[in-house]
Structure 1
Amino acid sequence: MTVTVRDLRPEVPADVERFVRSRRLALPYVLWAPEAVLHRQARTRPDAHCRTLVAEEDGETIGTAQIGLAPDSPEPGQGYLNVYVRPDRTGRGAGTLLVRAAEEHLVTRGATRLLSWVLDTGRDRAFAERLGYRPGRRAHFLRLDLSDGALPPLQEPPPGVELRTAADFADDPRPLFTLDAEVTSDEPSDVGAEFTDYGAWVEETWRHPLLDLDLTSVAVVDGRPVAFTAAHTDRATRYSTAMTGTARAFRGRGLAALVKNDSLHRARAAGRTEAFTGNDGGNAPMLAVNRRLGYEICGTEVRHVRELG
């Protein structure tokens, strides 16, 4: 049995479905859907040089990789490769083939530093280190059961703060872009990000097929968004937080907890029964917020880095 690596064929629905199934088996804490995979293929800006790879054995997708450059980074040459092999198909060489194909693509497009999220298991970390990657920061996946009634009571906003949803900004989302750009620039990460391209943000973030405007909660002061939590859903039972943040001038007032609490109550009312979120290991304040809301850690990844040249 021979393992081969090739590009995903977005025009073949069955190929996309096999990619999604493989990712769900390898990383069940993340929402994977065909429309989201296709959106990344079609809407990511050209200077990101993104590709989606699959490792195949006898017509079965057993591993996947999403790769590209970080176009929002102020430091050029930051490449990423996130490789996942189905847990029931390890040991066949799929991971190595995917990594080598990804590295070749990124290096030829100017990458000088490669970053990869790796599941925090002895096997996965040893694999990454054998290929020259060194461990760095940790990040956690967290899960909350929305069906058991354990969600804290709905909070009332403090005086001067109004709770809205992203749907209220459907005609002009630029104020949310401005807020997202500010909080993203402060997010703990190995790669800095500066959102300056509003059009790219609209295409990649605002028009993401999993973004649920009615479940995305926004705290507003004097007509200006000052905190938000972006909700992704599978339009069935699963809900995930894509980003939560507060404008610098309004931090320390509990607004992140306020919008997350509001969004979770909206999600449960809409029939979602399972919620996921993610936390950088060094972001203690947000980790504390999530734990107060009832989230529990269900998985951990370690960012691995390989410096080139």
Structure 2
Amino acid sequence: MTALPTFTLREPRKPDDFAQIAALLSAADPDWPVTPDLLAVWDAAHDPALYRLELVAEQSGRIVGVGHVGHDDFAFEEWRYFGGVTVHPDARRRGVGSALYGALMDRARERGAQDIRTMLSDQDRDAPGRAFLAARGFTRTWDRFESRLNIAGADLDAFDDLMDAVAAGGVQLRSVADLAGDPERDRRLWELDWQLFQDVPMGQTLTRRPLDAWLKQELHDPTFSHELSFVAVRPELNDPLTGPYVGYSTLMSNPAGFYVIGMTGVRREERGRGVAKALKVAAMRALVAAGGGEIRTFNDPPNRAMLNMNRALGFQRGPTHSRYELHLDPVTGERRPIAALQDPA
């Protein structure tokens, strides 16, 4: 029997390794491909105040696995970490994932980690990953539903009355690009984003990203479409934090050609007037004018209003993406039991 070549673990060499890492990640999850340039941008946008460890597994000069663990900037606690391990499909069952996982967990335990989180989908290709997590004591604790819509199949004329009613109510829908002349635009959107995110039922307490980190990860990210992201503006309003902005909906592009909705929401006092749906329709109409394409979005099961809205707009349910957690005793570092998510009967 011919022995398989050994592999070594090391930290990535940036930016030299980004091409191989992007190819590996895209091969492992072809539904969500990435590029070397995007990896470089995302790496530069990482908040240096938050801990992060990245490792690659190299075999005969080829990167066959990647892994990371670090603080969760969306739900920060000093003792909470988020991470993941990805092995190239043709390099699995050779101990690569186990080695990466072991090295990352050793460091997390050294730092006193009490909660390790990761995400996986319910798709067949993620079955080995789910088994990997189960064998190491991870528990599924939260679901996120992915929905998809090919804009070519949407009847956007059906929403003319909605758009007229929103306009008659004094709300203007303007693209983020159209608002570039507002010197307070970026700060106001940051404030609005934080207000809206606090009402999203994500099963965890969210933390606020600093303005500079938010700008790098949102408005300045090359995937963010300023022309296809829309803001609801009530001109007579002058809120000290958000000015006349009362809602917004964002679209980001993926290298594969589809778009992803980031945030959609309106301030509490504006809800029930169709503004959120109108924001999405405005973005969808702008996408048609730009050539069309597919839109994907994510929603949490308790967010019934948004799930129903997306269904009314023509979105169809896609994969479910689940959060898995491992809880560790702060003294011994041993696994602590955690309640598993119960599927509806």
Shorter-chain TM band: 0.7 to 0.9
Aligned with 1:46: secondary structure? coil
Distance in 2 of aligned mates of 1:236 and 1:307: 36
Paired amino acid for 1:145: N
**Separation in 1, partners of 2:146, 2:55:** 24
1:142 paired to 2:125 = no
Q: State whether residues 39 and 208 of structure 1, in contact with CA within 8 Å, keep that contact through their aligned partners in structure 2.
A: yes
User: Which residue, out of 237, 240, 243, partners 2:263?
Assistant: 243
Task: Quote the RMSD (CA, aligned, Å).
Answer: 2.6
Amino acid aligned to 1:135: R
Q: Which residue number in structure 1 is paired with residue 321 of structure 2? A: 301
Give the corresponding residue for 1:261: 281
Per the TM alignment, residue 87 of structure 1 is displaced from its structure 2 partner at its CA by 4.4
Question: Does the C-alpha gap of structure 1 residues 103 and 185 become closer, same or farther in structure 2, counting only changes over 3 Å?
Answer: farther
Amino acid at match of 1:302: S
Q: Distance in 2 between matches of 1:191 and 1:102?
A: 24
User: For residues 48-59 of structure 1, what are the structure 2 equivalents within 5 Å?
Assistant: 48-59=50-61
Q: TM-score, normalised by structure 2?
A: 0.79
Q: Determine if the alignment matches structure 1 residue 21 to structure 2 residue 31.
A: no
Matched, 1:175 2:185: no
Q: For 1:86 and 1:4, how far apart are their aligned partners in 2?
A: 15
Judging changes above 3 Å, is the alpha-carbon distance between structure 1 residues 43 and 49 closer, same or farther for their aligned structure 2 residues? same
Deviates more, 1:54-63 or 1:216-225: 54-63
CA displacement, residues 260-304 of structure 1 (integer Å, 9 cap, x when unaligned): 121122123212422222222332222222222222223222111
Aligned to 2:198: 185
Equivalents in 2 of 1:160, 1:31: separation in Å?
41
**TM-score scaled by structure 1?**
0.87
Unaligned runs of 5+ in 1: none
Which residue of the partner structure matches residue 37 of structure 1?
39
Q: How many residues align?
A: 306
The more displaced of 173-182 and 281-290 is 281-290
Distance in 2 (alpha carbons) for counterparts of 1:99 and 1:43: 25
Letter in 1 for 2:134: E
In structure 2, relative to structure 1, the CA distance for the partners of 1:174 and 1:122 (3 Å cut) is same
Structure 2 stretches of 5 or more lacking a match? 238-243, 330-345
Map of 2:210 onto structure 1: 197
CA distance in 2, matches of 1:63, 1:190: 30
1:10 matches 2:30: no
The question of whether the paired residues in 1 share the 8 Å contact of 2:144 and 2:321 is answered with: yes
Does 1:114 find its partner at 2:116? yes
SS at match of 1:230: strand
- 1:276 matches 2:281: no
Specify which of 225, 247, 259 is matched with residue 227 of structure 1: 247
Name the SS of the counterpart of 1:182 in structure 2.
Answer: helix
Question: Matched residue of 2:218: which SS?
Answer: helix
Q: Distance in 2 between matches of 1:29 and 1:151?
A: 26
> Residue type matched to 1:127 in 2?
F
Identical counterparts, % of pairs: 29
Q: 1:164 is matched by which residue type in structure 2?
A: R
